[in-house]
Structure 1
Amino acid sequence: MEGFIDSFKDSFETWGYVALFFYCMGSGYVGILAAGTLATLGHINLAASIIIATMGNFTGSSLLVILTRYQKKDFERFLSAHRRKIALMHIWLKKYGAALIVINKYIYGVKFLVPLAIGASRYDLKKFVVLNFLASVIWATSLGLLAFYFSKAVIEIVESYGQYSYIVIGVFVALIIVALWFSKKALAKHTS
């Protein structure tokens, strides 16, 4: 049984990084957050996870831009179905420029459309590659460190408060939910 556990742990440490790379190609948050949590527990290396997530995210976004730019006929159906959203991304790109490339990594639903809009536009490809790399580094580092230190804080709470730790964690989660609700309301009021 011990041999099976060691074998699983070895294959997880190897294939976990591969799965993280492919998951982050689609700009998935869960992969880097899980990697940060597993690094807290000592199962994987945090620095390696951040580097792999960065490369996966950079590869996915860059590939999407390049494919959209040079294979427009294959993307034509998809682009026409989301014409209004892509037009909005063009407006945002003109208005916010490089900041949009960095911020889009964090906005669900936009992180896929911005590379499509860039690929369909005449935006400088070299400039995008540099900005995309910097944005991928910031994205992976911030989320990886957030998960690592948040997990560490949760472990310390559980160790400090023992059987009552679930109450502290529950209050903390409730505060986060309330803060997200208020920020969603404020954003909806601001955009209306």
Structure 2
Amino acid sequence: MFEHVDINYLLANYGYWAVFIGCLLEGETMLILGGLAAHQTALQLPHVILIATLGGMLGDQILFWTGRYFGPRILPKLHRQQSAIDRVSDLIKRYPTASVFSVRFLYGMRLIGPLVIGASRLSPVRFALINLLGAAVWATLFVMAGYWAGEALEHLLGNLKPYRLPIFIGVVVLAAGVALYRHHRAKVKAARGANSQGSTR
């Protein structure tokens, strides 16, 4: 069934757009896939890193400005994210610069973090500069991880061309599985916290 899908055509025509949109929303899985594609010369490595940086930065800028103008109305309604909101708020108070740089690397903080930072009234210029640096480091690390994974798989399997689509599907499935596991673990942790608070009343 895989032989009927022209993965080279899909990557060449939609690969960069997929990286950009993926990084605009969340990103890590698409970054790894972009790195794999760059290893297979379907995409250019510097272009993947640049586009991923721009997508990641733009996504956080949108969230930052959303938090700046609408944070006081939005954040109180996000009851399920309260622990993440409190965590980011505490980080901003203690380490404002480090919180902007590191929030994209913390699980569960990528989307909520910039919203909270925007609502904190941190300088937009300061946020933009640190956000650009953080996005560049984030994009480089994950794209290179995908590139090096391609190197390892090539040593193991030889020519990867016949396996490109199964590998890409495997990465997506693995990433989805990890995300579901983390989500389940976070829900269990939140439920335990709620139960412990209820028992102390």
Q: Please give the per-residue CA displacement for 1:101-125, whole angstroms capped at 9, x wherever unaligned.
A: 2222222201122101111111111
Change (3 A) 1:34 1:113: same
Report sequence identity in percent.
26
CA distance in structure 1 between the partners assigned to 2:97 and 2:135 by the alignment: 13
- Given the alignment of the two structures, is residue 46 of structure 1 paired with residue 45 of structure 2, yes or no? yes
Letter of the 2:81 counterpart: H
Q: CA RMSD in A?
A: 2.5
Contact kept? 1:27, 1:105, Cα under 8 Å:
no
Q: Which ranges of structure 1 fall in alignment gaps of 5 or more residues?
A: 160-192
Q: Please give the per-residue CA displacement for 1:55-102, whole angstroms capped at 9, x wherever unaligned.
A: 100000010010121234762564465344313211112223322222
Q: 1:137 deviation in Å?
A: 0.3
- Given the alignment of the two structures, is residue 22 of structure 1 paired with residue 28 of structure 2, yes or no? no
Contact kept? 2:20, 2:52, Cα under 8 Å:
yes
Mapping of residues 113-192 of structure 1, within 5 Å: 113-159=112-158
Q: 1:128 deviation in Å?
A: 0.5
Count of residue pairs brought into register by the alignment: 156
Contact kept? 2:22, 2:30, Cα under 8 Å:
yes
Q: Which segments of structure 1 move beyond 4 Å, counting only runs of 4 or more?
A: none
Q: Which ranges of structure 2 fall in alignment gaps of 5 or more residues?
A: 159-201
Q: 1:9 deviation in Å?
A: 3.7
Q: Please give the per-residue CA displacement for 1:26-54, whole angstroms capped at 9, x wherever unaligned.
A: 23201010000111112111111111111
CA distance in structure 2 between the partners assigned to 1:154 and 1:18 by the alignment: 25
In the other structure, the counterpart of 1:174 is none
> Does the residue aligned with 1:58 lie in a helix, a strand or coil?
helix
Taking structure 2 as the reference length, the TM-score comes to 0.68
Letter of the 1:12 counterpart: L
Q: Please give the per-residue CA displacement for 1:134-172, whole angstroms capped at 9, x wherever unaligned.
A: 00000001111121022112211334xxxxxxxxxxxxx
Contact kept? 1:86, 1:117, Cα under 8 Å:
yes
Contact kept? 1:92, 1:100, Cα under 8 Å:
yes
- 124-133 vs 88-97, which deviates more? 88-97
